[in-house]
Amino acid sequence: MTSSDSEYCCTLIIQVAVTKLDALAIVALAVDRPISGAGSVHPFIELEGGARVEIEIPKFGEPPPLALDVYSTLSQDHAAMSALALLAALEAATSWAIKPDFVL
């Protein structure tokens, strides 16, 4: 990505206490996609359609929520639609209560 490229982000909030590794594995299974950059500081999962999801966990001593940041280089709408598709896949595969943290 060059400095002239824009990146759009939509966040899903999940009130669950889980490690970043476990959350990545759960998301990867739910969307049937591999984890890219596993073992690096910025692992992510590429989503269908070109978006990607990264996971932010609370800092030590902070309570949940877990934040799933969905990024797109195409548009804000693409990031939102990709986040909503991820939300649907996670709700079907987990018992997580997920809330979008963006305007629909």
The domains found in the chain, sorted by start residue, are 8-96 (3.30.310.50)
Give the pLDDT of residue 2: 44
Residue in the block written with tokens 């490229």: 5
d(CA 40, CA 19): 15
Alpha carbons within 13 angstroms on the beta-carbon side of residue 70 total: 27
Per-residue pLDDT, averaged over 33-50, amounts to: 93
What mean pLDDT is reported for the chain? 90
- Residue 64 near residue 3, CB atoms below 8 Å: no
Give the pLDDT of residue 100: 96
Ranked by mean pLDDT, the top range of 33-47, 49-63, 76-90 is 76-90
When pLDDT is cut at 50, 70 and 90, the band that residue 3 belongs to is very low
